[in-house]
Amino acid sequence: MSHILINKNIANSEECIRCIYFSLMIGSNNHKLKREAFLPAKGHNDVSLLRLLYTDLSFCITHGENTKMNGQTFCALASITSNIVNRNNEWALSEESKNNKNNNDDEINGVQAKIQYAPMSKGEYVSKDIDIYTDDTTIDLPMHADLVYNDNMDGDVKTKLRKYANELVKRVKYSMNENIYNYPWLGNEDFSNNNNPI
């Protein structure tokens, strides 16, 4: 990719890609995304993404294939934007998201998330104070971003994060197939104008 300065602000419509692994993140029978596709690891509050504006789908696939995920097998890509996250945030503050586990009608889900600029190199975050370009050979993942939750995946909050992620996976598109390059996007109609094979 050419010498392009990576914008530290992520536009609401900017597409970000999540690498998906079998069987943790996708169902073996119905091939539907599971909530785990967008849930942080235990004790964390972030989910790794790649900004498609600064890379391409071929790189995302290669990255997914080369990333080791506790014995999981890379099998798909999912696409998400801040617009989708913002709509999910609105849902999480709505009456519809009430958690009636204890018949407490006043308990609203309340989980919030946002997509943030988060370039990485050698498994560590790069300082947000420096400017990074797409062709910087010293930065492994200049296009890296995080979906950041307002809470860690721990304790009582796990139920709320899971509920939030259950709703979030309904709003994204994804592609999975043995030949991921030639399979059309599945999922949310928000992307009907961009429903092209990858």
pTM for the model stands at: 0.87
Number of H helices, E strands in the chain: 3, 9
User: Is 31 within 8 Å of 23 (Cβ atoms)?
Assistant: no
Q: What pLDDT does 184 receive?
A: 56
Does residue 5 form part of some domain? no
In a domain, 1, yes or no: no
User: Which pLDDT belongs to residue 27?
Assistant: 84
Number of domain units in the chain: 1
Contacts 24+ apart (CB under 8 A), 194-198: 198/57, 198/77
Please check whether residue 97 lies inside any domain of the structure: yes
Q: Considering the domain boundaries, does residue 34 fall inside one? A: yes
Please name the amino acid found at residue 11: A
Q: Is residue 62 part of a domain?
A: yes
55: in domain: yes
Please give the pLDDT value at position 29: 79
92 inside domain: yes
pLDDT for 96 = 82
pLDDT value of position 188: 57
Is residue 75 situated within a structural domain? Answer: yes
- pLDDT score, position 165: 96
Residue 97: both structure tokens together: 């998201």
Q: What is the mean pLDDT of each run of 10 residues along the chain (198 residues)?
A: 92 96 87 93 96 93 91 91 96 81 60 97 95 94 97 89 94 75 57 35
Instruction: List the domain range (segments joined by +) for residue 80.
Output: 16-194
